[in-house]
A and B are shown apart, each in its own frame.
Chain A
Amino acid sequence: MNIDREIQNRVNKLFNENKITCFIGYEKGSFLYRARPCFITRKEDVNRLIFNSFCINNLSIYLINGKIGDDTSSQHEKFGILATPCTLRSIVSLLQGNQIKAEDLYILAVNCNGMIDPYKIKKLPFIKIESIDEIDDKIIINASSSKIENKRIDILYDKCLSCTNELPKIYNDLIENVSIKPDKSIDEYAEVKEIEKMPPDKRWEFWEKEFSRCIRCYACRNVCPICYCRECIVDKNIPQWISKINQSSTNEYYNLIRVLHVMGRCIDCGECERVCPAKIPYRKLIKKMEKEINDMYGYKPGLNPELSPPLSTFKEGDPDESIK
């Protein structure tokens, strides 16, 4: 099955049946190892749609930054969206937060085979690539002078290695694609546990060094589908919670606040870490909170829109050993 054609056919049908007015998907990027989000509003453009192992962007962000959340203009727009498991799980979080309405949306889900991190492919920027073939568990890059063969598993994004590939059943239609089976031998919390083992001062040293690089570009916030606040705490001036001065304490403060705000709803799409120009290992913080929430409240975000996120609810017998 040619997955591009399959997507194009189904989207074409959606336009024909007047089910959508705009489809959010991926198109070819400026390099063969890039794909970029695109908005298809006319039937003639449907053939721009593609899907491959470079479609990393979490598309759900466009549902809230675009018109759909805006009551004044959403009346005429019906959005369709191509949803990988990551995108789909963040849609669940958005539904829970009443940020989007399920009726306004047509979700075309697609299984994911793991996304490839171009930074993990050696020599990539230095060669002229003619084509990239994905054959089973191999990625073959054909360059003018050479052929680079990579095992898929070696060049996947970290988050994909421990992905369970679960698709919450909120989609309207599903395209069955080959999908990786989660590798049970990989402990998704291994990095978290490593930090937990350090003594407090070492941990602080580690994080202080990481946070000191933050340039407060807020790319992490802007790309995050969960950071949908109309006015973010960092933009508030009265009272000003976070100083705009870029110094290590305010950077620490900003990053910690963001973790506190997204925990329990963050679905670990890894976008914040991916876009960070300072390469701050944000996922370690996210994973830590995810682990604690799962251990204490038995909750995994992004799977069931019927459940309340863990911080908007409680149980009388919640664990509280640390409170005397």
Chain B
Amino acid sequence: MVKNNNIEINEKDKIWEPTIYAFLCNWCSYEGADLAGSSRRNYPSNIRIIRVPCSGRIDPVFVLKSFEHGADGVLVSGCHPGDCHYIEGNYYARRKFVLLKKLLEFIGIESERFQMRWISASEAVKFVDTVKEMVEDIRKLGPNKKLQKQNLL
């Protein structure tokens, strides 16, 4: 079955840039990204940040939906274990996403495409490095065609 015809066009391949959806917890990782910005650190613009109240708020369904809507990679990031603003949200999230990653790998999604990270409000450098690393890894893999919605036209 041919998927996403518009990605198959050769010209588009040349200018293809990975798109990464990032679900960031408001209290740590989003602050970390904010700090990266306010301290004028550069990071690739391939990332689309979605702010969520806590990593525990992120449903694995969001990740699948992101891939369906054309993400080449998805990043989920929250406070370090023990630091969650709501005490235990990230502990639940950890179980969910460790299992989600196993499932995605099992059906053949490359493991680089879905990443989970702990990034605190002061770790602007870690955030920048994570984004750079992910963009590079995914650039090597090429556009994601798995799980993606087909163009019906």
- State the A residues within 8 Å of B (CB): 192, 195-196, 198, 200-208, 212, 233, 241, 243, 245, 247-250, 252-253, 256-257, 259-260, 263, 285, 288-289, 292-293, 296-297, 310-311, 314-316, 318-320, 322-324
Contact = CB atoms under 8 A, between A and B. Distances in A.
A323 B100 contact: no
Interface stretch (B8-16, B23-31, B144-152): B144-152
19 contacts: A203-B108, A204-B107, A205-B108, A208-B1, A208-B108, A248-B3, A252-B147, A253-B64, A253-B147, A263-B103, A285-B106, A288-B102, A288-B103, A311-B92, A315-B91, A316-B91, A320-B94, A323-B98, A323-B116
**Which secondary structure dominates where chain A touches chain B?**
helix
Contact of B103 (A205, A206, A259, A319): A259
Q: For A201, A202, A288, A322, which residue has the most chain B Cβ atoms within 10 angstroms?
A: A322
Contact of B68 (A253, A288, A293): A253
Given A212-B1, A249-B148, A316 B81 contact: yes
Nearest to A239: B65
Contacts, number: 114
Given A248-B1, A316-B91, A322-B98, A257 B64 contact: yes
B87 to A, nearest CB: 11
Contacts of B148: 249
A224 to B, nearest CB: 17
Interface of B: 1, 3, 60-61, 64-65, 68, 81-82, 88, 91-92, 94-103, 105-111, 115-118, 130, 146-150, 152
Nearest to A254: B64
A212 B68 CA distance: 15
Given A314-B92, A320-B98, A322-B101, A207 B107 contact: yes
Given A204-B108, A249-B149, A256-B64, A314 B98 contact: no
A256 B107 contact: yes
